[in-house]
Amino acid sequence: MRIALFATCIVDAMYPRTAQATVAILERLGHTVVFPAGQACCGQMHVNSGYFKEALPVVANHVRAFDTEDYDVAVAPSGSCVASVKHQHGMVAKRCGEDALAARAAVVGAKTYELSQLLVDVLGVTDAAAQLGSHFPHTVTYHPSCHGMRLLKLGDRQLDLLKTVGGIEVRELPEADQCCGFGGTFSMKNADVSTAMLEDKTANICGTGASLCSGGDASCLMHIGGGLSRQGSAVGTLHFAEILAATLENPAHIAGDVQLAGRK
């Protein structure tokens, strides 16, 4: 299968190992990964803030980048960005009177998957250790991001894959379905509320005794990781793609103190 990688701007700029891990996983399964060169931001920050007119050229750029590339499906290691592509792009185009763009956006959206969706629903991956060689000998808890849960209806796909990684110990996160407080521009516009939500989330994470918190959105993990760091916690964060890509021969890259704390 020919798979187009939608890296997303935060992964591209701050967490490139997550994109590299996504490619490694797909190539390990025997697929060809291509990278549409014109891709940039999906525009969800504009849309979530109500700036539909300003979002239109961003949406148009994404559609142009992905409907001119030859591929079977597209994938992104981000529930929020995939939710934007699937649920916001067509709406923005229609609101701005661009019906032709809306139709093209619908085609691109239908072919775009979040990573765990693609692995489980399309590629039939249900056992990461057996099918991917995944090995990660650390204690991990898992935070499901809001867009993945509520818009994409991912359910336990990410968590179930993590539980099948060799050597891992997954510990249940209390109140896992509660927002971490990031919410994109919400964390800047409502900093005090966001901080209070984050404190609840980090307290629950630390209470599990896990050495790492994993999830499927780099933005949430950045927010959570920042809170943990400011609190002086040794608990780190790591995208689930990097855990799935880790093997005995090529372990995941983790900060030294966290790696020592988490090794069993």
Based on the domain organization, do 103 and 212 belong to the same domain?
no
Asked if residue 115 and residue 7 are part of one domain, the reply reads yes
- The domain boundary, picked from 119, 154, 181, lies at 119
Same domain, 93 and 169: no
Same domain, 140 and 108: no
- CATH number, position 79: 3.40.50
Output DSSP code: residue 211. S
Each residue of 38-90: pLDDT tens digit? Answer: 999 999 989 988 999 999 999 999 999 999 999 999 999 999 999 999 999 99
CATH of the domain at 167: 3.40.50.1860
Greatest pairwise CA separation for the chain in angstroms: 57
If asked whether residues 107 and 151 sit together in one domain, one would say: no
Residues 107 and 138 in one domain: no
Q: In this structure, what DSSP letter does residue 142 have?
A: E
Same domain, 158 and 88: no
> What is the pLDDT at residue 263?
38
Are 106 and 161 in a shared domain?
Answer: no
> Do 30 and 115 reside in the same domain of the chain?
yes
Total structural domains within the chain = 2
Query: Distance between alpha carbon 39 and the CA centroid of its chain, in Å?
Result: 17
74 and 51 in a common domain: yes
pLDDT tens figures, 79-113: 999 999 999 999 999 999 999 999 999 999 999 99
Helix (H) or strand (E) holding 2: strand 2-5
Look-up of token digits 């060809």: 32
pLDDT for 184-237, tens place per residue?
Answer: 777 777 788 988 999 999 999 999 999 999 999 999 999 999 999 999 999 999
Contacts of 261 (CB under 8 A, 6+ apart): 211, 234
CA distance 172 to 175: 9
Given 119, 136, 164, the domain boundary residue is 119
- State the DSSP H helix or E strand holding residue 65, giving kind and residue range, or none if neither: helix 52-67
In this structure, the answer to whether residues 162 and 198 fall within a common structural domain is yes
Domain termination residue (choose one: 103, 119, 135): 119
Contact 71, 2 (CB under 8 A): yes
Domain that holds residue 249: 127-262
Q: Beta strands 73-76 and 112-114: pairing type?
A: parallel
Question: Is the same domain home to 97 and 33?
Answer: yes
